[in-house]
């Protein structure tokens, strides 16, 4: 080999070595950078997880301290101040700000928060309740007998208007035929009166700074006895109890004013449940009410009080004992008064085995002094007894016995016996059949009543007598 060939070969081998030396390790720096990047990301992820765990632990510590001392911020809750400037961390800053906001909110709990109502909550709870009733009778001179009609359609509206108050409005649309308890054929005309009324419209204030004290302001059923609180469709029987009709009104005694309800703290009364009502009312009543019946022209308001004691005899037997007193003017004459005293007793039994073997027993008695003139006062009294047996999940059977003297004529009396059965298809639909024998200083009658009640919408709670349904 000549020198030229040797030199050329040497140069070629050197060039190849240089090229291979440069190209062979070209992938190593890239792989190294990726490995370092992954390692750094893993370290950051671990550090982030550690920070989250530390923050969660700190938040749980804050919660436990807040639960034990809701209005005091312990000094240990102040984060330590580091001498070295820390890198800004928006996540930590947000958590610290939220924690401080929470502490400040708890410290200001005494002031009620503003009411925030969503657009949907502007609509109140709304229910429509229909009551259809009719009867057949062997007495044909009373136009309210052998008559079938839709007695009432009731509109029930309820809504919260403030965190401390709710509003209730009851608007019945009635179709009535006059049916006085002491019927006189000479005054019967059979006219069907269709009207809309404001049966109840009140604001229920359940929190105004006095523990255990609530109030209703507006128009409401008076807390006189137990039955007077019930609406027409909620009666246990098709017709109203005679004693309630006689002293309080054809349906119930309703008036305007303010009603206070105080639940006595159990520790003051030996652990018993005692509730007291005091009501200041206009004392007007209505044109159909026998005792309170004036235009509110008198200068003295009416007063109504009710005291109720609820007690569990056993885990399955409960009773309520109540006493009522009502004072007001009988009519527009300022010197003619009326006062009523009442007692009510309700005994309820719940089947402990859940077999619907439940019973309700109720008694109410009323004694009244009513001035029918400046020189004449009527002293009358009456009472009724109701017993009801639940037969199964859908059927009830019961009977009501009434006797009362006329509140405006103590020389007249009337009594009846009325067995009945009630069939619930559901909580929204109910059927009832009742037989009634009526006698006294009024024509003797034998009546068979039929009733259908239906509800749609956000219906109100069930009455006490069907609470076992």
Count up the domains in the chain and report the number.
1
What pLDDT shows up at residue 139?
93
Section 334-357 average pLDDT: 91
The fraction of the chain above a pLDDT of 90, given in percent, is 58
Q: What residues pair up with 192 in beta bridges, in sequence order?
A: 177
Residue 183 CB contacts under 8 Å (≥ 6 apart), including other chains? 142, 442, 443
In this predicted structure, the answer to whether residue 280 has a pLDDT above a threshold of 90 is yes
Pick the closest to residue 280 from 263, 258, 264 (CA basis). 258
Q: What is the pairing mode between strands 254-263 and 273-281? A: antiparallel
| Residue 6 falls inside a structural domain | no
- Residue 3's pLDDT band, with cuts at 50, 70 and 90, is very low
What pLDDT shows up at residue 363?
98
The whole-angstrom distance between residue 141's C-alpha and the CA centroid of its chain comes to: 43
Here the tokens at position 88 are 């800004």
What pLDDT shows up at residue 161?
92
| Residue 168 falls inside a structural domain | yes
Whole-number Å distance between alpha carbons of 376 and 326: 19
Section 69-93 average pLDDT: 48
In this predicted structure, the answer to whether residue 54 has a pLDDT above a threshold of 70 is yes
Between 20 and 440, the more confident residue is: 440
DSSP E strands in 222-301: the ranges are: 254-263, 273-281
The least confident of 111-125, 258-272, 400-414 is 111-125
Most confident of 1-5, 29-33, 209-213: 209-213
Residue 25 CB contacts under 8 Å (≥ 6 apart), including other chains? none
Residue 358 CB contacts under 8 Å (≥ 6 apart), including other chains? 348, 349, 350, 351, 389, 390, 468
Contact 339, 373 (CB under 8 A): no
The pLDDT tens digits for 219-246 are 999 999 999 999 999 999 999 999 999 9
Most confident of 13-27, 283-297, 321-335, 412-426: 412-426
Pick the closest to residue 443 from 402, 405, 414, 411 (CA basis). 414
Whole-number Å distance between alpha carbons of 440 and 406: 11
Report the largest interatomic distance among the alpha carbons of the chain, rounded to a whole angstrom: 162
Between 71 and 181, the more confident residue is: 181
| Residue 71 falls inside a structural domain | no
Question: Which residue in the block uniquely carries the two structure tokens 């109890």?
Answer: 241
Here the tokens at position 124 are 């109140």
Helix (H, G, I), strand (E, B) or coil at 297: coil
The least confident of 225-239, 332-346, 449-463 is 449-463
- Provide the b/e sequence for 105-139 (b: ≥16 CB within 10 Å): eeeeeeeeeeeeeeeeeeebeebebbbebbbebeb
Section 293-317 average pLDDT: 90
Q: CATH no. for residue 283? A: 2.40.160.10
- Residue 362's pLDDT band, with cuts at 50, 70 and 90, is very high
Here the tokens at position 385 are 């007894």
In this predicted structure, the answer to whether residue 468 has a pLDDT above a threshold of 70 is no
Question: Which residue in the block uniquely carries the two structure tokens 């309170």?
Answer: 292
Residue 413 CB contacts under 8 Å (≥ 6 apart), including other chains? 403, 404, 405, 406, 440, 441
- Please provide the average confidence, as pLDDT, over all residues in the chain: 83
Pick the closest to residue 254 from 233, 232, 225, 223 (CA basis). 223
What pLDDT shows up at residue 94?
62
Contact 344, 324 (CB under 8 A): yes
What pLDDT shows up at residue 32?
64
In this predicted structure, the answer to whether residue 387 has a pLDDT above a threshold of 90 is yes
What pLDDT shows up at residue 323?
98
| Residue 394 falls inside a structural domain | yes
In this predicted structure, the answer to whether residue 78 has a pLDDT above a threshold of 80 is no
Whole-number Å distance between alpha carbons of 228 and 221: 7
What pLDDT shows up at residue 18?
42
**Host domain of residue 422:** 133-466
The pLDDT tens digits for 114-158 are 555 554 456 889 999 999 999 999 999 999 999 999 999 999 999
| Residue 64 falls inside a structural domain | no
| Residue 26 falls inside a structural domain | no
| Residue 294 falls inside a structural domain | yes
Here the tokens at position 167 are 């509003």
What pLDDT shows up at residue 25?
45
Contact 398, 387 (CB under 8 A): yes
Residue 398 CB contacts under 8 Å (≥ 6 apart), including other chains? 236, 237, 360, 386, 387, 388, 389, 419, 420, 422
| Residue 417 falls inside a structural domain | yes
Between 460 and 238, the more confident residue is: 238
- Residue 291's pLDDT band, with cuts at 50, 70 and 90, is confident
Section 253-261 average pLDDT: 96
Whole-number Å distance between alpha carbons of 344 and 323: 6
Backbone dihedral angles phi then psi of residue 289, each to the nearest 5 degrees: -75, 130
């Amino acid at each position: 080999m000549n020198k030229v060939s040797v030199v050329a070969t040497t140069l070629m081998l050197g060039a190849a070595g240089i090229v291979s030396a440069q190209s062979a390790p070209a992938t190593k720096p890239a792989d190294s950078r990726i490995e370092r990047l992954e390692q750094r990301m893993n370290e950051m992820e671990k550090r982030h997880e550690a920070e989250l765990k530390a923050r969660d632990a700190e938040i749980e510590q804050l919660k436990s301290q807040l639960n034990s001392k809701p209005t005091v911020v312990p000094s240990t809750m102040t984060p330590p101040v580091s001498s070295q400037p820390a890198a800004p961390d928006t996540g930590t800053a947000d958590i610290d700000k939220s924690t401080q906001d929470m502490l400040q909110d708890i410290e200001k709990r005494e002031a009620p928060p503003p009411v925030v109502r969503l657009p949907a909550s502007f609509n109140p709870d709304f229910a429509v309740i229909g009551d259809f009733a009719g009867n057949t009778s062997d007495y044909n001179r009373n136009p309210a007998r052998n008559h079938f009609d839709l007695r009432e359609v009731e509109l029930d509206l309820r809504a919260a208007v403030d965190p401390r108050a709710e509003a209730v409005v009851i608007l019945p649309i009635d179709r009535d035929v006059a049916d006085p308890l002491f019927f006189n054929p000479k005054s019967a005309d059979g006219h069907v009166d269709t009207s809309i009324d404001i049966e109840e419209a009140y604001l229920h204030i359940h929190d105004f700074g006095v523990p255990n004290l609530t109030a209703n302001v507006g128009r409401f059923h008076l807390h006189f006895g137990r039955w007077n609180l019930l609406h027409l469709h909620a009666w246990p029987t098709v017709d109203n109890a005679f004693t309630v009709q006689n002293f309080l009104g054809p349906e119930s005694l309703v008036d305007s004013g303010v009603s206070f309800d105080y639940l006595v703290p159990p520790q003051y009364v030996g652990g018993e449940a005692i509730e007291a009502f005091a009501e200041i009312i206009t004392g007007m009543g209505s044109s159909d009410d026998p005792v309170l019946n004036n235009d509110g022209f008198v200068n003295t308001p009416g007063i109504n009080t009710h005291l109720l004691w609820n007690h569990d005899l056993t885990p399955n037997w409960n009773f309520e004992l109540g006493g009522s007193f009502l004072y007001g003017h009988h009519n527009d004459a300022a010197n003619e008064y009326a006062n009523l005293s009442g007692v009510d007793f309700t005994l309820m039994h719940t089947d402990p085995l859940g077999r619907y073997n439940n019973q309700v027993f109720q008694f109410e008695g009323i004694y009244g002094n009513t001035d029918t003139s400046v020189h004449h006062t009527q002293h009358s009294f009456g009472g009724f007894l109701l017993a009801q047996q639940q037969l199964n999940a859908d059927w009830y059977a019961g009977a009501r016995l009434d006797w009362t003297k006329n509140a405006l004529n103590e020389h007249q009396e009337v009594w009846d016996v009325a067995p009945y059965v009630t069939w619930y298809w559901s909580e929204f639909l109910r059927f009832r059949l009742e037989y009634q024998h009526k006698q006294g200083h009024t024509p003797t009658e034998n009546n068979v009543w039929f009733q259908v009640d239906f509800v749609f919408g956000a219906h109100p709670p069930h009455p006490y007598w069907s609470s076992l349904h």
